[in-house]
Amino acid sequence: MRNPRQGRPNRVTISDVGAAAGVSASTVSRVLNGTTKVDPSLAARVHDAVRQLGYRPNAAAQGLARGEWGTIGVLVPDLANPYFPEVLKAVSAVARSHGRRVMVMESDEDPSIEHDLVEDLMRSCDGVLLCSPRMGRADLVVLTARDHPLVLLDRIVPGLAAPAISADFFGGMMLICGHLAQLGHRQVAYLSGPEVSWANAERIRALEAAKAFGLSVTILPCGSTSSCGYAAAAEVAGTGATALTTYNDLVALGAVTRMRELGVRVPEELSVVGFDDIALDHVAHTGLTTVSTPRGQLGRQAAEMLETLMTERHDGEPVYLPMELHVRDSTAPPRVTREPAE
């Protein structure tokens, strides 16, 4: 019952093709890669042989010989987060335009395997795009010291030997705070994202800064999913907040759902703001006020940075991409404006 070719698929090699076409392996290679002019009649014979034998070049052998894989690797924490597919599409487009394919790996938010995955990616890709909000700084230092093209996505860590690009989370949250303050809100709650997430820290940093404008902020531990938001929403009432900010749109939507169930009207009794502007168009029946992450540009530019790094081997300054405020239906002036004085 066992197939004789067991364990070694695609056994037809470039020499087989050469033999079949009556030429040398190098000629086959030349025809296939178009590196040198080849006699048209020979080329035709080669193509025939390729087709007949179903020959496909072995990627490992090519990689070895060329010293290049023709591939870039991307590590993302969680494919289920709608944030990433959009980034990935942009990355793929850029990569393809440079003749490279994209290999995606998911760490599933598990920091313990993340390091290994990156190493794997480095061993089999020309460059890697690393999106790892929670990896410890120590690991990051080790990885970026590897002298392998690597760009950091949505995480800026000073002093690392790798270029980085990120949405300006701090600026985005400032936009939100400004909007809320201008509506007259003073007491704000924040449903916090993952503890050790850099992106979350940036949001909190902005919240802190906003205190200078008279905003008083209560931070509630939460998470990054709609279920987290749903679960944590009940806590908000106790804080006396008239407005709720969140780690992301998913959390916000979860919170809105819960608020509805609790009989709290949004935005009349409580303003709710998201983050990321994930297009859940026509799914969530809430026009959520939020800030948008430029995911396409993020992916595009990150990929370009990596490409530059791979060919020219020098990096630049970290870049922050601005976010944009979208005021929709989930924010309004507070019902009763409380005096800032306690």
Angle value at C-alpha 238, between 233 and 243, nearest 5 degrees = 60
**Structure tokens that stand for 249 in this block:** 């749109």
Q: Cβ(277)–Cβ(293) under 8 Å?
A: yes
253 makes contact with a second copy (CB under 8 A): yes
Residue whose structure tokens are 């940093």: 205
62 makes contact with DNA (CB under 7 A): yes
88, interface contact from a second copy, DNA, none, CB < 5-8 Å by kind: a second copy
Stretch 10-29: interaction string toward DNA, x if CB under 7 A: -x-xxx------xxxxxxxx
Cβ 24 to a second copy shortest distance, Å: 21
Cβ 319 to a second copy shortest distance, Å: 19
> Which of 102/177 has CB closer to a second copy?
102
Closest listed residue to residue 205, CA positions, set 174, 167, 234: 174
Scanning residues 43 to 72, which ones bind a second copy (CB under 8 A)?
54, 56-61, 63-64, 67-69, 71
The span from the CA of 75 to the CA of 81, in Å, is 13
The span from the CA of 201 to the CA of 199, in Å, is 5
| Contact residue for a second copy among 281, 317, 339, 342 (CB under 8 A) | 281
**Structure tokens that stand for 121 in this block:** 């990616």
**Structure tokens that stand for 103 in this block:** 């290999």
71 makes contact with DNA (CB under 7 A): no
The residue range among 6-14, 106-114, 208-216, 267-275 that interacts with DNA, by the rule CB under 7 A, is 6-14
244 bridge partner residues:
189, 272
| 30 contact partners, CB below 8 Å, separation of at least 6 | 36, 38
The span from the CA of 88 to the CA of 263, in Å, is 39
**Structure tokens that stand for 264 in this block:** 């709290």
5 makes contact with DNA (CB under 7 A): no
58 makes contact with DNA (CB under 7 A): yes
Q: Cβ(55)–Cβ(37) under 8 Å?
A: no
The span from the CA of 252 to the CA of 261, in Å, is 14
Cβ 282 to a second copy shortest distance, Å: 4
33, interface contact from a second copy, DNA, none, CB < 5-8 Å by kind: DNA
Stretch 34-53: interaction string toward DNA, x if CB under 7 A: -xxxxx--xx----------
> Which of 38/237 has CB closer to DNA?
38
The span from the CA of 262 to the CA of 271, in Å, is 15
At 167, give phi and psi (nearest 5°). -70, 150
Cβ 103 to a second copy shortest distance, Å: 5
Stretch 98-127: interaction string toward a second copy, x if CB under 8 A: ---xxxxxx-x--------x-xx-xxx---
Binding residues vs DNA (CB under 7 A) = 8, 11, 13-15, 22-30, 32-33, 35-39, 42-43, 55, 57-58, 61-62, 64-67
